[in-house]
Structure 1
Amino acid sequence: MDRKGNRDALQDSEAEPGLRRSSDIRQLRRRSDMKQIAFTMLTECSGTDLRKYLQFKAIRSRNWRTCLRVLPESPRWLLARGRFEEAEKILKKMARVNGKPLPGNYMVQLKRKFQVERYVKQKEKHRHYGVLDLVRTPNLRRKTLIITFIWFTNTSVYVGLSYYAPVLGGDEFLNFFLAGAVELPTYVFLWPAMDYWGRRWTLCVSMVIGGVACLATFLVQNDTRVTLVLYCVGKMGISSSFVVLPLMASELYPTVVRGLGMSTSSVVGMLGPVFIPLIVYLGEEMLVLPLIVMGSLLVAGGACSLLLPETLNQHLPQSLEDGEKFGKDWSWRNLTTCCPSR
């Protein structure tokens, strides 16, 4: 790969987190709950392939940009801007593909609803939202801090485990291959799990299983094969939580600050990989020490996820007021609530 290819690959890899978060927010506006899960699964599967075969991203041709011309715009975004005819065409096409016709007065009611929303927004057009709005009220502040901590944990451990694969001993190429291969089976499990158990418990179980597997390496540190197996289980756990977290975060943040909230949590989360190489280097003194550190982070993050409200089958918050009310009546009894009612 030449120098320009390396540079192009690096630029694409740096742009990937932002593109993925934009995709999360975009699909949230356009899909029902189950299709939203399916779309998230497909996005993460493609992301796995992109990360494992980064060299293919260094192709000089940027023909992928032509897809932007055929990708349909978000109907909600069009409606919010008064472009009703364009939105109607896309909605009719979506209904035709799904085999369900639109009701006769659907567009009339939708138009009236968004005209009212536009009138309200016009009264608040000078309102600009910032990072401080995420922490101004107690309930939204609590959710923001928890999401950001879990994001920090997920990013740190995921990158750390990827760096750690060659350190395990044996064939480092096989280790690196297994580290990527074990991610794909998790997506098959997550699809029904998020729809049945809900986001909160799926996230918690994924992180705790991954964390316990990493911590268990302390008991078998002299057996490299068992350590490799536990490492793969840990990688499966962190890969699962990395799928659930963006979906759950996008449903917890109110619409008016959804992009801002996810960007803030993602940026803070990216600070973790800055220090992860230092933790990986600890493996020179004790092979499983980095796994113990990362396992502890995962268990702590999994426990914190239970403090977030469940978003499955819930109306998504739109305004800051909605975001503050959502989950405010949470009690310790809700801590063990699983499989939310439909």
Structure 2
Amino acid sequence: MGAGLFSVAGTLLLPGLAALVQDWRLLQGLGALMSGLLLLFWGFPALFPESPCWLLATRQVARARKILWHFAEASGVDPEDSSLEESSLVTELAMLSAGSPQPQYQSPLGLLRTQVTWRNGLILGFSSLVGEGIRASFRRSLAPQVPTFYLPYFVEAGLEAAALVFLLLTADRCGRRPVLLLGTMATGLASLLLLAGAQYLPGWTMLSLSVLGLLASRAVSALSSLFAAEVFPTVIRGAGLGLVLGAGFLGQAADPLDALHGRHGFFLQHIVFASLAVLALLCVLLLPESRGRGLPQSLQDADRLCRSPLLRGCPRQDHLPLLSPSDSCWAGHTPEQR
């Protein structure tokens, strides 16, 4: 979520930077320079170290120990301290490093051997693709209602920020799956209404549906990435999250298609993505709920994330014991014996 807010900030600052520079070559050079600085930042392990959790999950205990010791020293804590927490950590690392274990890397193809994880990843990738791809339809419907050139750009950036704030307020309180289901439902409903009433609905209704669709689709794509980070196991979390994000970027490729084929191509594209949104709504019901659960470490742990009921009602059966503990102790005794 934090990365998404930084992305929104960059989107809002980009027009001001372009107006200040007034040369697209210089603007492109500044973007390349910032990307190069980020690559240098990521290239130094001291500035951007590897995840100790991933190192331990792949049995790279020596590297994990080195990074954990670096974190402890940077925090002013002696890793060799005899306190209970530090001694338990030292003992656990010593047990893991016994026998010189070899690193065990997992390929993304290992998802094909799982029973549940591959399905969860496929559904989240599909919802990310739909959430990013259908935004072109809402953006096209929004453009005639907002005649100003820059206003749709800032409206979309503001809706992206609003979607991220909405997720921050609801995803942890209500759960990932219900919020994703709500966002997918709103996306599909707005798309179907725009598709059916494009020639009959008034302008303010078209504007409202376009804004709702942009807000919901952005929430769906952002929550799909967050959900994927909690569903995929640690050993392949980066690769799985990359696949889901890649599906979202593939959906963004549908943005210029309507300009290439004209109005008829846009109408067909809108029909396809509206149908896919309805299908994604049904697929989200098959996902597990990851709120309140620990992150899976191995593929076996990820396969244990089974689907739970969406609505938890009152139990139909009474599981209370027939006798209370005090009564069960005196079962078989007469009142005089008690």
Same fold (TM over 0.5): yes
Q: Distance in 2 between matches of 1:106 and 1:312?
A: 27
What is the 5 A alignment of 1:183-194?
183-194=160-171
Q: How many residues align?
A: 287
Matches within 5 A, 1:106-185: 106-119=85-98, 122-123=101-102, 125=103, 127-158=104-135, 161-162=138-139, 165-166=142-143, 170-185=147-162
Partner of 1:9: none
Aligned-pair Cα RMSD in Å: 3.6
The one-character-per-residue Cα deviations of 1:270-299 (angstroms, maximum 9, x if unpaired) are: 333334433566772498765554343333
- Answering whether residue 183 of structure 2 is matched by residue 206 of structure 1, we say yes
Q: Which residue of the partner structure matches residue 23 of structure 1? A: none
2:8 to 31, 48, 51: 48
Select the structure of larger CA radius of gyration.
2
**Cα distance change on mapping 1:220 and 1:272 into 2, 3 Å:** closer
Change (3 A) 1:106 1:291: same
Q: Runs of 5+ in structure 2 lacking a partner?
A: 18-26, 314-338
SS at structure 2 position matched to 1:271: helix
Contact 2:128/2:220, CA 8 A, preserved across alignment: no
The match for 1:318 among 264, 284, 297 is 297
Larger helix share, 1 or 2: 1
Separation of aligned partners in 1, 2:156 and 2:257: 20
**Could you tell me whether the CA contact under 8 Å between 2:132 and 2:218 is conserved in 1?**
no
State the Cα deviation string for residues 258-279 of structure 1 (Å, max 9, x = none). Answer: 1122223333443333344335
Name the aligned partner's letter for residue 336 of structure 1: L
Paired residue for 1:82? Answer: 62
Q: Tell me the SS of whatever aligns to 1:148.
A: helix
Moved more, 209-218 or 47-56: 47-56
SS of the residue corresponding to residue 144 of structure 1 reads: helix
* SS of alignment partner, residue 309 of structure 1: coil
Cα distance change, pair 165–75 in 1 and its aligned pair in 2 (3 A): same
- Percent identity of equivalent pairs: 24
The answer for the alignment partner of 2:233 in structure 1 is: 254
SS of 2:295's partner is coil
Unaligned runs of 5+ in 1: 1-39, 97-101
| Contact 2:138/2:191 (<8 A) preserved | no
CA contact (8 A) 1:165 1:175 kept: yes
| Mapping for residues 219-234 of structure 1, pairs under 5 Å | 219=197, 221-222=199-200, 223-234=202-213
Tell me the TM-score normalised to structure 1 length: 0.69
C-alpha distance 286-142 of structure 1, shift in aligned 2 (>3 A):
closer
Cα 1:296–1:279 change in 2 (3 A) is farther
| Cross-structure match for 2:172 | 195
1:294 equivalent in alignment to 2:273: yes
Letter aligned with residue 5 of structure 2: C
Question: CA offsets per residue over residues 130-166 of structure 1, 9 Å max, x none?
Answer: 2321121222232222122122222322455456654
